[in-house]
């Protein structure tokens, strides 16, 4: 299908910058850095022994600030930030991110750290477990619970997915920052059009096959990830626990995308950072097995907003590769051509710098990968 939307402005050419890839694992944070997106130097781990589910590379406001949300099995969750590309990390003496006393909740895990609008560089959002949205207005030093979502009448009936009751996706509308979209496993998608004061469930069309009469379920969908199209901000791509969906109206309604035979399950979905209509999936075989089908690692790409999908395999292992990529384990660096990076639960990181045409292994023998984020930074 055609689109008339304008492509998003890419980041500056990579030649003037370094590319940083943050790899969050079950045993700490690793950093890959390259001047040419070819040879990557590996550093780490930072925070050894801590699970790093969320990182963020925030390049707004004329500076680069890194965030890392980690959790220790013993000592609980921690939010840290770095203004020197990870050479040093700061944890505020007073917890930046915590539930207020009257909520009777305690922060279990930080699942998502998302920059706010481009022209509001001090606004940062955090999605957490138990499912809640937090907002910072001071560059991530302190966060406040977004009460409108926390007080939503659906919340007492939200059920956790396999990873816990987590708010794992935060999308800020690129032209209207009052419009927010979040996704929760396993509550589904919620939208706000007033900066988070009020929210409505936005799952119309996302069928839930494991629930009787799940065709019309208002909420309870196990949405794994949502990505926004580069050219049309109303167009969204969604990987569900069972199926892939697209919205052309900002999430108000969803339609099934053309399926990839035998591969309804998967965790991540990534939109091309600058070119409309292009998105990527890493499907897995069944919710029981959750590994790359047939021992072949395949990235699937659409260039027509989900009407058809093409397999990308060059450089990816095609036999005995039983890999799993989690919802935040696949990302883009925002450049054009796109750098694409994904990490596996078996500790490999693959990268592509040509929109996914070719891939190569850029790190291996790491602990299980939970999250990957990448961006060009001033070297």
Partner 1 sequence: MTVPMLVRVRVPTQLRDVAGGTRAVDVEVATAPATVADVLDALARLRPALERRVRDEQGRVRQHVNVFVGADNIRDRDGTATPLRPGEELSIVPAVSGG
Nearer to partner 1, 48 or 294 (CB): 48
286 sits in which H/E element:
helix 286-289
Enumerate residues 6+ apart whose C-beta is below 8 A from 5: 229, 231, 232, 235, 276
Closest CA to 52 of 334, 329, 323, 325: 329
Is 185 in contact with 163 (CB distance < 8 Å)?
A: yes
Q: Which two tokens stand for residue 223?
A: 């949405």
Is 135 in contact with 146 (CB distance < 8 Å)?
A: yes
Nearer to partner 1, 91 or 120 (CB): 91
**Cβ at position 254, least distance to partner 1 in Å:** 36
113 sits in which H/E element:
strand 109-115
Nearer to partner 1, 99 or 359 (CB): 99
**Cβ at position 298, least distance to partner 1 in Å:** 30
C-alpha pair distances (Å), 302 with each of 254, 277, 306: 17, 7, 5
Nearer to partner 1, 87 or 106 (CB): 106
**Cβ at position 202, least distance to partner 1 in Å:** 30
Residues interacting with partner 1, by CB under 8 A?
49, 72-76, 91-95, 98-99, 101, 104-107
**Cβ at position 101, least distance to partner 1 in Å:** 7
**Cβ at position 332, least distance to partner 1 in Å:** 31
Nearer to partner 1, 50 or 285 (CB): 50
Enumerate residues 6+ apart whose C-beta is below 8 A from 107: 76, 77, 97, 98, 99, 128, 129
Nearer to partner 1, 4 or 73 (CB): 73
**Cβ at position 31, least distance to partner 1 in Å:** 20
Residue 200 CB-density burial (10 A; 0-12 exposed, 13-18 middle, 19+ buried): middle
């Amino acid at each position: 299908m055609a689109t008339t939307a304008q492509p998003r402005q890419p980041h500056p050419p990579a030649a003037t910058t370094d590319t940083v890839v943050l790899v969050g694992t079950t045993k700490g944070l690793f950093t890959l850095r390259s001047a040419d997106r070819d040879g990557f130097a590996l550093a780490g781990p930072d925070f050894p022994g801590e699970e790093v589910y969320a990182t963020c590379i925030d390049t707004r406001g004329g500076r680069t600030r890194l965030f890392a949300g980690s959790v220790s099995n013993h000592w609980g969750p921690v939010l840290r930030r770095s203004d020197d590309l990870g050479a040093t990390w700061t944890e505020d003496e007073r917890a930046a991110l915590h539930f207020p006393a009257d909520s009777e909740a305690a922060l279990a895990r930080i699942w998502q750290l998302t920059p706010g609008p481009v022209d509001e560089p001090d606004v940062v959002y955090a999605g957490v477990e138990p499912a809640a949205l937090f907002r910072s207005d001071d560059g991530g030093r302190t966060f406040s619970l977004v009460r409108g979502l926390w007080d939503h009448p659906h919340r007492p009936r939200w059920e956790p997915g396999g990873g816990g009751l987590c708010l794992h996706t935060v999308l800020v509308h690129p032209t209207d920052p009052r419009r927010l979209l979040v996704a929760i496993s396993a509550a589904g998608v919620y939208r706000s059009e007033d900066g988070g004061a009020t929210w409505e469930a936005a799952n119309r069309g996302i069928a839930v096959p494991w629930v009787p009469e799940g065709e019309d379920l208002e909420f309870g969908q196990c949405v794994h990830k949502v990505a926004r199209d580069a050219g049309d901000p109303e167009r969204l791509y969604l990987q569900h626990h069972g199926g892939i969906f697209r919205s052309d109206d900002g999430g108000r309604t969803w339609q099934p995308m053309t399926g990839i035979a035998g591969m309804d399950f998967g965790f991540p979905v990534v939109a091309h950072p600058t070119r409309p209509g292009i998105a990527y999936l890493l499907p897995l075989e069944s919710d029981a097995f959750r590994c790359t089908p047939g021992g072949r690692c395949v990235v699937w790409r659409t260039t027509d907003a989900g009407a058809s999908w093409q397999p990308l395999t060059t450089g990816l292992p095609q036999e005995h590769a039983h890999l799993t990529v989690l919802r935040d384990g696949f990302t883009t660096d925002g450049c054009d051509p796109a750098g694409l990076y994904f990490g596996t639960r078996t500790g490999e990181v693959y990268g592509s710098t040509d929109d996914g045409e070719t891939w190569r292994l850029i790190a291996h023998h790491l602990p299980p990968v939970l999250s990957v984020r990448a961006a060009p930074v001033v070297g």
